[in-house]
Amino acid sequence: MPKTAQLVKFAMLAALLGVGYEAWRWYSRPCCAPPPLGEVVLGTLSSLSVPGARPADFALVVHDGTGALAPVYHYDYDLRFDGRGVAVLTYRPGYSPADSLIIVEKFAIDSVTLDVLWDLAAPLRSAPGSREDGDVPVGGSSPSFRLTSEGKLYEVAAWQPNPWHAYALALARQARASIPGEVWARCEAAQERMQAPSER
């Protein structure tokens, strides 16, 4: 890969990681924010190595949501990507929604988006396992992943320590950004219907 292209790719990764950290810093509620991380480990960007080419069998499942909120505001979703450029979103408003409220949508993903997802997901292959219960905030929200790469399946639990936490937030944000606006609008409509007692 030409040196200029590598620098552009590095800059994109740095920007996404920075956005992921800012999302955690500003949108984590005080009652359920992650435990103190000490010095932010975004300085490790200076030693960041760009992953190799996206494997042919790359696949990704993102699980994310709001964390513990009142049912009318709570949601979670699974977002599945395969290497052929197909994504499937399963969106669940509330905690035990009626089948009529669950949104399942399939849409296309271009190769550039898949490459960015791979670049953010690849470092998570070395993430530690699940954290001890005492290290996990009560009621908070943190994404988890299932990643397939070169014939291996990697389970990435929520609430990873840094620097994996920064990658996880950036990856979840990029995955969410890939959902077409009209698809997310249908999810929001289902969420609004949660306010109707007959729909809960």
Of 196 and 191, the structure prediction assigns the larger pLDDT to: 191
Domains of the chain by start residue, with CATH: 3-33+52-131+139-199 (3.30.1560)
Average pLDDT in the 40-44 region? 39
23, 34 in Cβ contact below 8 A? Answer: no
Question: What Å distances lie between residue 150 and 31, 47, 122, 135, 154, CA to CA?
Answer: 40, 24, 11, 32, 11
175, 79 in Cβ contact below 8 A? Answer: yes
Residue for token pair 């480990």: 41
pLDDT score at 141: 73
Within the chain, residue ranges assigned H as helices are 3-27, 111-121, 164-177, 181-193
| Whole-structure pTM value | 0.72
pLDDT tens by residue, 119-130: 999 999 988 877
Give the chain's end-to-end CA distance (angstroms, integer): 53
* Region of poorest pLDDT, from 36-40, 74-78, 146-150, 152-156: 36-40
Task: Report the C-alpha gap between 192 and 119 in whole angstroms.
Answer: 35
pLDDT score at 97: 80
pLDDT tens by residue, 84-113: 999 999 999 998 888 888 999 999 999 999
Q: For 82, which DSSP code?
A: -
